C-alpha cells in the first residue's frame, strides 16, 4: 500500500522541436526536417539532431502535427459493446490493420443506444478521425445524415447502407444460412425451426432468407410456427425455445441466429429434458472459440472475424484516400460440422 502525491508532474512539459533547435544551434525547421529524414538535410546535422532528440526523449506531438497537416492518422471504431466476443475479434483485425498503416484507433461502445451512438460519432468527428468503422449496429440509418454533414468515410461491418462515403463488409449470410440448413436437410430433417434475432438486423434478415431458400429448394413447406425470435443474446433464447416447443409443430432441428443463441437454446433444451442432437439438432452461426468446448460441440458457421476487420479497415483506407471502392465486400462463412447435429430420431437407423 503506497501513497503518492505527484503534483509536480503537472508542470512538466514535453520537449519540443524548439528545445532541440536551441540545443543543436539550428532553426526549428531544420529539426523538423531532420526528424523526418528529409533529403534536404546534411548527414551530419541530421545525425546530430536525431541524437539530441533521442537523448532528450523527444516525441513529436501528433496533435500539433495533425493540426497543420490536417491528417490525424486516426480512425474511430464504434461497437455495441467490446465485450461481445464477435465484436472484439473484428476489432482485433481492425487494430492490426491500423498498425500496419500507422493509424491509431479510438474505441467507443454505443451499448446499442442510438443517443449514445450519435454522441460517439460526434466525439469522433471532433477528434478529426479520418474515418469510422461501425460493427454490428442496427442503427446504421443514423449515420447517413450524420456523415453527409461530416463527410467522414464510414465502413459498416455486418450492416449495410447506401451512400457515397459508406462501404460495408458483410458475411455471405444467405448462402451460409442456406448451407447449414441444407446440412440439416441432408441429415433427413424436415421440421426445421429458425430461431432469430429480435432487432431488425440485416444479418438476421439475410440468414432467415437463406433458411427459407434452402427449405423451398428442398421442397419443404415453410411453417411460420417454426419461426421464433430471441434477442440475439443468451437471455432471449431460453424463452423463445419455450415458446417454440409449446406450439403444435415440434421441430427436429433448430437453426439459430448465432452461437450465443444456440448455447442458450441447447441449455434450455437440456433443462426441458431433451437431448442434443438425439432429440433436436442445433446449429449456430459464428464459431466462437467456445463452440468447440460445448457439450456437444456445436455445428456452426465460421466467420472470418479478424479478416472482416482487416478488410473493413482496408476498405476505409481506400475511402480515405479517395480511391474508388467496391461495396459491399462479401466474405464467405465456412460450415463447421460438429456434434450438435445428427439425423432425426424417426429417420435414424
Q: Which residues bind DNA (CB under 7 A)?
A: 13-14, 16-18, 25-30, 32-33, 35-36, 39-42, 44-46, 58-61, 64-65, 67-70
Contacts to its own copies from residues 319-338, by CB under 8 A: 319, 322-328
Of residues 4, 37, 43, 219, which one binds its own copies by CB under 8 A? 4
Q: How far is the CB of 223 from DNA (least distance, A)?
A: 58
- Closest to its own copies by CB, 130 vs 204, is 130
- Residues 340/296, Cβ–Cβ less than 8 Å: yes
- Closest to DNA by CB, 35 vs 336, is 35
Contacts to its own copies from residues 114-153, by CB under 8 A: 122-123, 125-128, 149-151, 153
Contacts to its own copies from residues 232-291, by CB under 8 A: 234, 263-264, 266-267, 289-290
Contacts to its own copies from residues 166-225, by CB under 8 A: none
- Closest to DNA by CB, 61 vs 249, is 61
Residues in the chain: 349
The CA dihedral of 15, 17, 20, 22, to the nearest 10 degrees, is -110
Site string for its own copies, 7-46 (x = CB under 8 A): x-xx-xxx--------------------------------
Q: Characterise 81 by phi-psi region: left (phi > 0), alpha (psi -120 to 50), beta (else).
A: beta
Contacts for 212-220 with beta carbons within 8 Å, 24 or more apart? 213/174, 213/178, 214/177, 214/178, 214/179, 214/181, 214/182, 214/185, 215/181, 215/185, 217/178, 218/182, 218/185, 220/185, 220/190, 220/192
Q: Which does 92 bind (CB under 5 to 8 A by kind): its own copies, DNA, none?
A: its own copies
Selection from 110, 103, 114 nearest residue 153 by Cα: 103
Query: What is the C-alpha separation between 214 and 209, in angstroms, rounded?
Result: 9
Amino acid at each position: 500500500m503506497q501513497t503518492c502525491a505527484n503534483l509536480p508532474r503537472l508542470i512538466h512539459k514535453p520537449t519540443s522541436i524548439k528545445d532541440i533547435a536551441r540545443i543543436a544551434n539550428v532553426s526549428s525547421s531544420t529539426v523538423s526536417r531532420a526528424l523526418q529524414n528529409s533529403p534536404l538535410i546534411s548527414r551530419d546535422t541530421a545525425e546530430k539532431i536525431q541524437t539530441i532528440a533521442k537523448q532528450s526523449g523527444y516525441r513529436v506531438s501528433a496533435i500539433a502535427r495533425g493540426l497543420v497537416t490536417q491528417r490525424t492518422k486516426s480512425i474511430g471504431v464504434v461497437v455495441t459493446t467490446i465485450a461481445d466476443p464477435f465484436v472484439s475479434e473484428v476489432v482485433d483485425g481492425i487494430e492490426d490493420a491500423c498498425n500496419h498503416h500507422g493509424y491509431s484507433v479510438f474505441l467507443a461502445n454505443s451499448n446499442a443506444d442510438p443517443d449514445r451512438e450519435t454522441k460517439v460519432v460526434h466525439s469522433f468527428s471532433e477528434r478529426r478521425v479520418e474515418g469510422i468503422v461501425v460493427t454490428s449496429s442496427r442503427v446504421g440509418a443514423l449515420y447517413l445524415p450524420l456523415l453527409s454533414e461530416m463527410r467522414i468515410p464510414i465502413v459498416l461491418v455486418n450492416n449495410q447502407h447506401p451512400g457515397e462515403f459508406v462501404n460495408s463488409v458483410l458475411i455471405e449470410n444467405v448462402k451460409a444460412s442456406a448451407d447449414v440448413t441444407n446440412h440439416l436437410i441432408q441429415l433427413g430433417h424436415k421440421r426445421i425451426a429458425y430461431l432469430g434475432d429480435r432487432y431488425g438486423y440485416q444479418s438476421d434478415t439475410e440468414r432467415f432468407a437463406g433458411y427459407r431458400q434452402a427449405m423451398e429448394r428442398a421442397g419443404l413447406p415453410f411453417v411460420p410456427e417454426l419461426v421464433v425470435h430471441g434477442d440475439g443474446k443468451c437471455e432471449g433464447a431460453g424463452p423463445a425455445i419455450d415458446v417454440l416447443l409449446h406450439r403444435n409443430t415440434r421441430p427436429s432441428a433448430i437453426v439459430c441466429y448465432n452461437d450465443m443463441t444456440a448455447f442458450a437454446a441447447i441449455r434450455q433444451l437440456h433443462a426441458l429434458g431433451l437431448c442434443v442432437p438425439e432429440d433436436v439438432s442445433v446449429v449456430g452461426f459464428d464459431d466462437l472459440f467456445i463452440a468447440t468446448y460445448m457439450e456437444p460441440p456445436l455445428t456452426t458457421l465460421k466467420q472470418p472475424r479478424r479478416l472482416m476487420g482487416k478488410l473493413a479497415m482496408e476498405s476505409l483506407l481506400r475511402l480515405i484516400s479517395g480511391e474508388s471502392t467496391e461495396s459491399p465486400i462479401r466474405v464467405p462463412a465456412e460450415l463447421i460440422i460438429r456434434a450438435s447435429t445428427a439425423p432425426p430420431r424417426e429417420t435414424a437407423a
